[in-house]
């Protein structure tokens, strides 16, 4: 992995290499230590418990290394967790992910697909200031 964007549409200004993936994971742990949870306890309390979790669908937009998804998958092993990012280059191989985690490429500056609309009980979005564009270029 080099420091170049993964695709010509990828405008991420930081590198996509081992150091960058490590930074993202470290930021996740700092965030967790600061707020004390991965999924807010009030949100967690509204979700079905145990077997009923099979109907719960959670999306993580700009999932980076999928660290948040992997942590939440431990808390909600029966929920369906989908991670979206313009590049999955920093994510672990599919075989290393929990069975209930699925990753998809999606540029958040494009319209979501029909299958994404209204499909999720929880949508997690965090730390997007690095990819935010000026008001004149956002749809």
Q: What is the pLDDT of residue 5?
A: 41
User: Using CA atoms, how far apart are residues 20 and 12, in angstroms rounded to an integer?
Assistant: 12
Q: Residue 119 has what pLDDT?
A: 95
The series of mean pLDDT values per 10 residues for the chain, 139 residues long, is 44 61 70 88 84 83 92 92 92 93 93 95 81 50
Residue 51: the pLDDT is: 58
DSSP string, 44-98: HHHSPPGGGGGG-EEEEET-TTSHHHHHHHHH-TTSEEEEEES--TTSPPGGGS-
Helices H, strands E: what count in the chain? 3, 4
Contact between residue 17 and residue 2 where contact means Cβ atoms under 8 Å apart: yes
Nearest-angstrom CA–CA distance, 3 and 107: 19
**SS3 (DSSP) at 20:** helix
pLDDT, tens digit (0-9, with 9 covering 90-100), for 25-57: 668 678 888 889 999 999 988 887 665 667 899
122-125 and 57-61 as β-strands: parallel, antiparallel, unpaired? parallel
Give the model's pLDDT for residue 91. 85
Domains of the chain, CATH where assigned = 18-125 (3.40.50.150)
What backbone torsions phi and psi does residue 82 show, to the nearest 5 degrees? -115, 130
């Amino acid at each position: 992995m080099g420091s170049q964007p993964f695709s010509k549409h990828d405008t991420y200004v930081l590198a996509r290499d081992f150091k960058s993936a490590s930074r993202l994971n470290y930021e996740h742990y700092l965030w967790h230590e600061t707020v004390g949870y991965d999924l807010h306890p009030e949100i967690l309390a509204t979700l079905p418990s145990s077997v009923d979790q099979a109907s719960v669908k959670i999306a993580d937009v700009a999932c980076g290394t999928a660290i948040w998804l992997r942590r939440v998958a431990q808390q909600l092993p029966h929920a369906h967790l989908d991670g979206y990012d313009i590049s999955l280059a920093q994510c672990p191989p599919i075989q290393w992910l929990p069975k209930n985690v699925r990753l998809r490429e999606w540029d958040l500056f494009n319209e979501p697909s029909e299958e994404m609309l209204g499909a999720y009980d929880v949508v997690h979005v965090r730390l997007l200031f690095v990819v935010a564009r000026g008001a004149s270029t956002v749809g």
